Structure 1
Amino acid sequence: MAAWVKGGATDADAAVEAAATLLASARNAVLAGLCAELSAVRAAYHLADALGASVDPVAGPSLYAELGPLSRTGAMTTTPAEAIGRADAVLIVGNVPWDRPIVGDIAGSQATRGRAAGSERVILSLGGPRNGATRHVAYPVEAGGLAVSIAHLRAFLKGNLAGEAAYADLAKRLSSAQYGVVLYDPAEIGELGVEMLTGLIKDLNEATRFFGLSLADPFQGRALLQLAAWTTGQAPRVGFGRHVPEHDPWRFDSARQIAAGEADAALWLASLPAPRPDWLGTLPSVAIVGVGSPDASGDVADVVFAVGVPGESAGGSLWDERRAAIAYAPASGQTAELSAAGILTAIQERLTLKKAAAC
């Protein structure tokens, strides 16, 4: 079954009518998650505008960990292809990056372009695992966490701290690189860590070439960020209460709004896997989730749709981390009956009809 209303299986048209009625009766709705193909995210923004609702992606914490430092100080960045092709030294910060394919790509190759071509690649780890299949030099994280560790490393690099400490050795290794790359996950190191790391990279560029390569979150945040920019001219957390996009990362945080009682209805969009929020089902809600998802059942929200999963049971434009770009992912199996973009568009059309009838 592809749709449920109040726990009972139904057809898509009846579920669309129920969803439109639920959202139309709300004074302040939130559209959250947005972990989906770009066509669905675009349709969600259009629906939010029609409702006067706010938008908050599940990728928000990762995106905003970088957006703040980027807006204040800028950044010196590179791409996966450049890192693999040019880097003779790669510093991997934290634990999260080690589970990503790019670490294997880096470890299994050497620089083939630029000044470092043909030289042996050194892989360094700050606060990451000490053992494993990838050979690397590991440096422990300090008690204050990754952000404090990065700050101390920067102090050693600038000569503000000295001695035989491990970070002094790491600073020397980084300074001797011909083309260095720092690989990190923004959500893991946080906004302060990103700001410290950005400063560290700028300091290194006073003597050599060094760049940052942040990992994309697993919830399509990078693709969403680009769509938000070309659709609204703003970062993702926006509200359409006055039918113009108003950006405010604190005000339009969906969890904060719901906890404060400011929102009285919600739509959760996750055609790709994403952690279901604790608040879903605590207020009138609509859920659009992928076919086969554990959340594709009638007890998740008042109205539930099971739609095609992009790259599996539906085609869609998604973030490709290896290319660092948006790319189309065709369906790899049988196409699902419903699509997230189609459901969102149908809800918006039903809302338009309800407004016309009310006039």
Structure 2
Amino acid sequence: MPAWVKGAATDIEAAIAAAADLLGAARTPVIAGLNAEVSAIRAAFDLAGRVGASLDTDGAAGTYAELGALSRVGAMTSTPAEVVGRADAVLVLGTSPAKSELLSRIEASAPTRGRAAGAARQLLRLNGGNEGGVLTELARLRAYLRGHLAEESPVGALAAKLPAAQYVAVLYDPAEIGEMGVETVQGLVVDLNDRTRAFSLAVSGGRNQDRAVVPVSAWTTGQAPRVGLGRRVPEHDPWRFDAARQVASGEADAALWIASLPTDRPEWLGQVPSIALVGEADPDAAEVVIAVGVPGRDIGGVLWNETRGALTYWPAQTGGSAPADLPSAASVLGRLNERLAARSGTAC
């Protein structure tokens, strides 16, 4: 089981002991990333309760852009299956959705249900290549649809195509277009529904598991993911519990980074004593590093499935080249929690 303490290879027990020492000495630790299977996310929340940590996620920028807009203007959304089965016009905003597996399914198929069944599917793009970016083009598109602009332009031509469709789906990545962009998307969908049927669908070009973290956080704490447990009750504050901000301000004095699904680690991780549970072995990722199984490859695990729009179980692959004895992130977090509990003499 690959593990390192201060760059030196060691065994799993020594690494867990070092991690327990680091977290046990911290006053305001942060647990971040959470780019992992559901069992590991749940274990992270349990550990946060033990050590009084706050939690943040790898994809928090997109999550809070979506949640902020939802709280103010609501949303008219669809599901991946409905978009694949019914949409005869798909508007792709920005560049990030083009990296998603869902768009590949959309491009390779045609509507099979509803009024648009049997029709050719139009794939339309608004990628922000002009001055001002995608948000400016999106605002101009709404202006054309509402009759406030009339001159000929590519955006104007796009505005003429959308109301003629039977079912319009607007794909976007909240992290790419931001909170104002998400609100504008919902306004566009409302405008289109005056003339036809239209819905939005958030997709991500990355592999972050924020859409798995949100429900786990809700059923565990009653709050969205940026939550602190330093006072033993859940406190939600998207600004206060931003891990990068806490490290930069000196509020956080230790960090635990969880990424059993490989992702880029943040620059701030090396600025405080840190622990990393990672699916790609990297001795230099943190002061204490433990390699864990990648869900859906080395181990089985429940992950967010973007093509289905639901949490689904992904079994381990057989015949892979990764070590078979890699522990799951959940098991490592559980053992770390137990060791800290033994030191404090409490069971929960």
Instruction: Identify the residue that residue 298 of structure 2 maps to in structure 1.
Output: 313
Q: Contact 2:298 / 2:326 at 8 angstroms: preserved in 1?
A: no
Higher mean displacement: 215-224 or 246-255: 215-224
Residue 31 of structure 1 corresponds to 31
Tell me the equivalent position of 2:152.
164
What amino acid is the match of 2:234? P
Q: Measure, in 2, the Cα distance between the counterparts of 1:167 and 1:349.
A: 58
Q: Which runs of 4+ in 1 moved over 4 A?
A: none
Distance 1:126 1:116 in 2: 22
Taking only the aligned residue pairs, the percentage that are identical comes to 56
Q: For residue 211 of structure 1, what is the amino acid of its counterpart?
A: F
Distance in 1, matches of 2:310 and 2:143, equals: 35
Residue 287 (structure 1) aligned to one of 276, 288, 299: 276
- Aligned-pair distance for 1:203? 1.1
**Unaligned segments of structure 1, at least 5 residues:** 128-139
Structure 2 gaps, min length 5? none
Task: Judge conservation of contact 1:177–1:208 (CA < 8 Å) in 2.
Answer: yes
Residues in 2 aligned to 1:89 and 1:344: alpha-carbon distance in whole angstroms: 45
Say yes or no: does 1:184 pair with 2:172. Answer: yes
- Does the aligned pair in 1 maintain the 2:16–2:336 contact within 8 Å? yes
Identify the match of residue 250 of structure 1 among 239, 243, 248. 239
Q: Report Cα offsets for 1:13-69 as digits up to 9, x if no partner.
A: 221111111101111000011111110010001101111110000111111121111
Aligned to 1:71: 71
1:231 CA drift (Å):
1.1
Q: Using the TM superposition, give the Cα deviation of residue 202 of structure 1 relative to its aligned residue in structure 2, in angstroms.
A: 0.8
Q: State the match for 2:139 in structure 1.
A: 151
What is the SS of the residue equivalent to 1:298? coil
- Matched residue type, 2:156: A
Give the whole-Å Cα distance in 2 for the aligned partners of 1:107 and 1:300. 38
**CA distance in 2: counterparts of 1:161 and 1:125, whole angstroms:** 19
> In structure 2, what is the Cα distance between the partners aligned to 1:323 and 1:121?
20
Deviation by residue 1:140-166 (Cα, 9 ceiling, x = unmatched): 643111111111111111112222233
Spell out, residue by residue over 1:209-255, the C-alpha distance to the aligned partner (whole angstroms, 9 max, x if none).
Answer: 00011104521111111111111111111100111111111111111
SS at match of 1:223: helix
Alignment of 1:1-359 (within 5 A): 1-127=1-127, 141-216=129-204, 217-290=206-279, 293=280, 296-333=281-318, 335-356=324-345
**Alignment CA distance shift 1:116-1:297 (3 Å):** closer
**261-270 vs 271-280, which deviates more?**
271-280
Q: Is residue 2–residue 338 contact of structure 1 (8 Å, CA) maintained in 2?
A: no
Write the distance in 2 (CA, Å) between the matches of 1:323 and 1:300. Answer: 33
How far the C-alpha of 1:99 sits from its partner, in A, is 2.2
In 2, distance between residues paired with 1:78 and 1:311? 26
Aligned residues: 341
**What is the alpha-carbon distance in structure 1 between the residues aligned to residue 154 and residue 211 of structure 2?**
35
Letter in 1 for 2:314: A
Q: Give the aligned residue type for 1:34.
A: L
Q: 8 Å contact 2:145–2:159 — kept in the other structure?
A: yes
How far apart, CA to CA, are the structure 2 residues paired with 1:113 and 1:220? Answer: 30
**Contact 1:44–1:344 at 8 Å: present in 2 too?**
yes
Structure 1-normalised TM-score?
A: 0.92
